[in-house]
Chains A and B, each alone.
Chain A
Amino acid sequence: MLELDHLRLMLGAFTLEADARLEAGGITALMGASGSGKSTLLAAIAGFLAPEDGQVRVDGADITALPPGDRPLSILFQDQNLFPHLSVAKNVGLGLRSDLRLDAEQKKDRDAVLARVGLAGMGDRLPRDLSGGQQSRAALARALLRRRPWLLLDEPFSALGPALRQEMLTLLRETAQAEGLSVLMVTHDPADARAIADHTALIAGGVLHPPKPTAPLFADPPPELRAYLG
């Protein structure tokens, strides 16, 4: 379980309050208008923004002061998920060892994961030689290899076309289920949430509204969601 305990974030004049619990083992969508603070909240959970007040806990352990790389989570950004000068295999291998000194066993693991996301045999290529969808797959492969219980996604597929995006969401859903990953996914598109999210939380007016089961939420939207959906 990911707990945001009376979390208060400040970024310049912008403030965001979050007090919620996110269930482990499913996909939670985080929705809100652009500028509502979705990415800011994700940055705080991932350790890039120190909260003014409050705690972030995972399974009861306070991680508020941990550096980003030591948190029990992986994160996929909107872009710049791969180092452009490192091969795909190296980019993915970073998920196992940040100094890339992999032994034979680890290399086998890495290649297995690459095959899993449909990138078998492409390890030697540079990111620029991959399509957008393949780049997303490589980043996802690395997150899988890190084996952290939580996966945060900051609209990572937003640059993809509709068909590819659908494909990536499906891949995400399947792998999350198979690996027992808990996913928190930022999106501004209600269709994404409806497609794969078990729960959906809304950020509006500087406040995080705790997650609710997606289907009933959209069937009978509360006022702030109705305002967002228009």
Chain B
Amino acid sequence: MTAIGGRRDGPGARIGRAAAILVAVALVLPLVAVAWRAEGWGGLAGSDWAALRFTLWQAALSAALSVLLAIPVARALARRTFPGRGVVVLLLGAPFILPVIVAVLGLVAMFGRSGVVNTALGWIGVAPVSIYGWQGVILAHVFFNMPLATRLILQAWLGVPGERLRLAASLGFTARDTFRLLELPMLRAVVPGIFVVIFLICTTSFAVALALGGGPRSTTVELAIYQAFRFDFDLSRAALLGAMQMALGGAAAFLSLRLALPSGFGAGLDRAVPRWDSAGPALRMQDAVAILLACTFLLLPMILVLGDGIRHLIDLPVSVWTAAGRSLGIALSAALLTTALAMAMAVATIARGRNGWIEVVGTLSIAASPLVLGTGLYILLLPVVNPIAMALPVTAFVNVILALPFALRALIPAMRNLDRDYGRLSASLGLSGWSWLRLVALPRLRRPAGFAAGLTAALAAGDLGVIALFASPDQATLPLVLYQLMGAYRMEDARAAALLLVVLSLGLFWLFERGGRRA
């Protein structure tokens, strides 16, 4: 079959292929540098293997807890309609773009030594529980991933055909029958994939481990890279650990190619399936409790931090505002570059010929480790320029690579639809190149492009990864300053900075996303 694509193989497709090659090189070159710098496994200490073990078991436990806790919440949302349900579903999407360090601060306010929970425990005479250590790392991972799991499971739940539930009702199924015969098979099909995705996310955990872990028993491989790099300045050991993380990431990439990775922003969650089997008061109560507990767990830490932050916002030192300016710059440049790259790559996927590899490149970068990329770039830059001076561009660049898979997931399907619906019309009118981009592609793809830009901006603004590796004090970004304020126990300033960061991150997401919806 030799169907000619709707569009000619024009400069757009060539730029897109070049962009994909650029991304592939940007992914591979630092890895090569890391592998080249690493000198035999003998350089690894026992503590490094302990880091690998911790990375694996904390990820497994975090994923298991996230999924288990998500199931009752997803079930409650699937079978209940109530005012505010849409807000709850929206709330479940928020942790995805919430800066990690802000969430950590919130969890400390709730579960820390002088936090709400320990104060309550003190009243009933229970000794305080520490949030620092493995339990804190896992708690934070559950905070981020339980909502993600809930949204994904909810999507599967709403995928159960209404006809089948109607049939179940006509056969007089109880809620237990429905669960056993309809819902359990559905869960068995989707839960393993969701577990693996969350497991993968938790294996690349850096900021959470940096802030809450770090002792000999709660250091992830990513954190060990940072420590080898920053404290010992042992590039060779950092590279070895990088190789270890690469092996983890490689396994992740392999798995993620097999699994349909969920996007984190499931569509069509705005309805509940009518049910006849769960109208009893006990079940209603159970669902209400599940939803209330989940909302409290997600909202209370944020309210504690941000509510207190408002009161101290005007006292923030100038250095924090300067850092916010740097973060804004990083966020905007990363958003612009990611959207442009993703757009070009999406154009290339609809051009003639075999372009499946472009999507593979985009998917693979989901398994990229920011710390390994950072270490590799440091090694590459060292002979040419002082890497420390490049901290901000490197941070923006790493965020472009990390956000690209999400941007592609938004833009490629939209581009395919555009080509299917209007490809022939564009071609028959000789619309191509810049005219096509200006008159057809940009107006029709505003929504996914706005979403991609917003997501990238939010993630880049809140990113505390590679910047911790590179930055000197005069280049700190807002998340790094926040982390430093926390470390110095300047909690009032930290909370105000957290508020600023949330406004910056979520505000950028909201602005770009809105911009895409208008018109």
Contact = CB atoms under 8 A, between A and B. Distances in A.
Nearest to B439: A100
A47 B427 contact: yes
Interface stretch (A91-99, A104-112, A117-125): A91-99
Contacts of B126: none
Q: How large is the interface on A (under 10, 10 to 19, 20 to 34, 35 or more residues)?
A: 20 to 34
Contact of A80 (B422, B435, B519): B422
Contacts of B438: 99
Given A11-B3, A50-B2, A86 B428 contact: no
Query: Which size bracket describes the interface of B in this complex?
Result: 20 to 34
B4 A47 contact: yes
Secondary structure at the A interface, as helix, strand, loop or mixed, is: loop
B427 A77 contact: no
Contacts of A81: 425
Nearest to A51: B2
Nearest to B429: A94
B250 interface: no
Contact of B421 (A48, A80, A146): A80
A91 B489 CA distance: 62
A75 B428 contact: yes
Given A83-B439, A98-B431, A100-B439, A77 B4 contact: no
Contacts of A95: 429
Contacts of A49: 2-4
Interface in B103-157: none
Contact of B424 (A12, A77, A86, A90): A77
Contacts of A200: none
B428 A74 contact: yes
A48 B3 contact: yes
Contacts of A10: 1-2
A66 B39 CA distance: 58
A54 to B, nearest CB: 13
A12 B2 CA distance: 9
A98 B3 CA distance: 24
A198 to B, nearest CB: 24
Contacts of A94: 429, 431, 439
Interface in B402-443: 421-422, 424-425, 427-432, 434-436, 438-440, 443
A52 B2 contact: yes
Interface of B: 1-4, 6, 8, 421-422, 424-425, 427-432, 434-436, 438-440, 443-444, 519
Interface of A: 10-12, 46-50, 52, 67-70, 74-75, 77, 80-81, 83, 85-86, 90, 94-95, 98-100, 142, 146
